[in-house]
Each structure stands twice: as C-alpha cells, then as structure tokens.
Structure 1
C-alpha cells in the first residue's frame, strides 16, 4: 500500500545523535513547529497545547538545567558521568521544543461541561501527544532528527522561572532536535495478531 503520510510516519525514528548542521533558519523551523501544533486536533477544539521553542544557547541552557538537577539523583561518579553525557547529546542539537498543556483551559472546560469533567485532563494528554507526534513528524519531513524526552516535573520550577512561563502551563515533554549525525536504532514490532482485532 502506497500512502505518503504512512511513508513519513514509518520513516520517522528516534534520533539521539543530533547536531547543529541544519540548513533551515530558526524562523522556518518555528513556523513549521507552530503550524504542526495549530493543525493538531484537540477535544472540543480547546487548543490547550502550548509550546516554548528554544534555539541554540537557550536550548543548551535548558539541558544544562536538567543536567544540574540530575546530579542529585546520581548514585555514583560513573552514573553521573553517563547522565551528563546524555544531557550533552541533547544540548548538541539546534533546538528543543518544550510542550505544555494549559490547565486553565482544562479547568474552564470542566466548569463548562461538568458531566465530562473527569475526562478533560485525559483528553488534554491526548492533545499534547498528538501535537508532539505532529511536530516530530514535521521535523522529520524536513530532514531534522529528534528524540522525545520527559524530564518533567523535576525541572518545572526552573523552567517556569527562566522563561517566564505562566503558572497554568503544565510541562509534559521535551523534543530535542537537530541535524542527523547518526542512524536510528532498528525498531521491532510485536505480532499483529496480539495487537489488533478486525471484524467485518
């Protein structure tokens, strides 16, 4: 079966080896990221997803904050060294997208539609996941490698202070991106029979 969209998501992979050797300008990449998020669906068209796009030194600053915070979790010097190297690999890219969900929007929907109140936080998670996937795939189609990380909530306080983030924005994920400097690992798949049921 030939399908352009399926071809793109099939080729998209987690790329850990990233660099700053990109031809696209920050303006181009910003437009790409913003468009991908704006066109991502959300429950009740709530548009609850938010993003902070960090380039170059600002992206490095974020990963330095994470590295500093993780020092307190290191069990020994070897573990600390590995963690520092991992954070440096993310900082080596051209940028990072910080994905948030605006909980004021979620609370507003809960008040407006009380019968669905318990579902809106769940649906907000769906919204951010779709936005993350859309951005990741859009970057891939532009020849940019990326990996999705989750160092929230350990750096939430520092992030909110450093970039003046509204208190209602809840950090959900971080996408480090840049030039592709190494191949992705092979991806295995479980048997379809264990994953899908089809009735006709």
Structure 2
C-alpha cells in the first residue's frame, strides 16, 4: 500500500549535514512552519504549542548559547573541540525552531477539568511532539533538511532572557534546519512482530 502521506513521513529523516542554500525565502519558511503548527492537533483543542523562529544572527546566537553552556560540563580540551564541531554543524543551517508549551494553558485546563488534571501535562507533551513532527515533515516536503535536538533544560534561563520568552513557556525541543548538503544515513527497523500485536 502506498499513498502520498506515507511517502511524506518516510521522506522525513534526520539530516545532520545542512547548509544555508535553501530555495525558500525566510518568509516562505516562516509560513511553512507556522502553518504546520497551527494545524497540528492538541487535546481539547488546547493549542498549547508555542514556537520561536530564529534566522540569521539570531540562529547563530542560539547555538553559541548552547556551546557556552555545554562547555561548563566538558572535562577535556578534546571534548570541547568535538562539541565545537557539532555545534558548528548546527549553526551552519539556515534557522532553528524552538518549541515550547504554554504551561498557563495547561494549568487552566487542569483547573477547569479536575478529573483529567494529571493528564494535561502528558497531553501537552503529545501536542509538542505532534507539532515537531508536523514541522519536520513539512520542511522535508519542501526539500529542507532538519534534525531535532534537546538541549533543554540547561539552556532554558539563557533562552528566556535572550529572547524575552514568557516564563510560562516551557522549552521542549529545538529543530535546526537548512539545505540538505548530504543525505541521511541508512535506517534500520526492528521486526514488526516485536512492535505490534494485531487481533482479528
């Protein structure tokens, strides 16, 4: 069985070798990203997902924040050099999406629907995951490579201060994107019998 959606999700891969040679303008990329998040589903249509889109020097500044913070934990010069190379590969891209969840909305829902109070933080994690997948797939559909990173929570304070992010926005992930300078590596899959149970 083959269809357009299946092709789209199969085409979404982790691309580490990215550059700035995208065909889209910044405005076009913003539209792709915003549209994907707006139409991503959320529990109770709560629309808890928030995003900060960084381009140009703002994108570069973010990855410098990450590197400066990581240096505090690196034990050797060799580790610093290796990390510098990794962060440079992210900075080589054209932009970064910072994904947040609005915890004020989550708390409001907990108050309104006390029976489900324990579930709303979990459902918020579902929402951000879906939003991340939607953006990643939309970018891939437009020939833009990306990889999802998670340097939160060690960078949270610096990010909130640098871009004046509301305190109720909780950083969940960072999607760095750009032109595809080298294809994704081979991907292996575990046997379906391990992952699925089907009853007929």
TM-score relative to the length of structure 1? 0.99
In the other structure, the counterpart of 2:18 is 18
CA deviation profile, 1:8-59 (whole Å, cap 9, x unmatched):
1111110000000011011001011000000000000000000000012111
**Structure 2 equivalent of residue 120 of structure 1:** 120
Gaps of 5+ in 1: none
Q: What is the CA RMSD across the aligned residues, in angstroms? A: 0.5
Query: Which blocks of at least 5 consecutive residues in structure 2 are unaligned?
Result: none
Please report how far the alpha carbon of residue 140 of structure 1 lies from its aligned counterpart in structure 2 after TM superposition.
0.1
Show the counterpart of 1:93.
Answer: 93
Give the number of aligned pairs: 200
Tell me, yes or no, if the aligned pair for 2:110 and 2:118 is still in contact at 8 Å: yes
Q: Distance in 1 between matches of 2:150 and 2:56?
A: 20
- Hey, what does 1:36 align to over in structure 2? 36
Equivalents in 2 of 1:66, 1:9: separation in Å? 29
Match of 2:108 in 1: 108
Q: 2:167 and 2:34 mapped to 1: Cα distance?
A: 21
TM superposition outliers: structure 1 runs of 4+ over 3 Å? none
- State the distance in 2 between where 1:16 and 1:56 align: 19
Residue 72 of structure 2 aligns to a residue in which SS?
helix
Q: Distance in 2 between matches of 1:73 and 1:186?
A: 31
Q: Distance in 1 between matches of 2:4 and 2:118?
A: 37
CA drift at 1:196 = 0.4
Question: What displacement does 1:183 show?
Answer: 1.4
Question: Is contact 2:11–2:141 with CA below 8 Å preserved after alignment?
Answer: no
Give TM-score, length-normalised by structure 2. 0.99
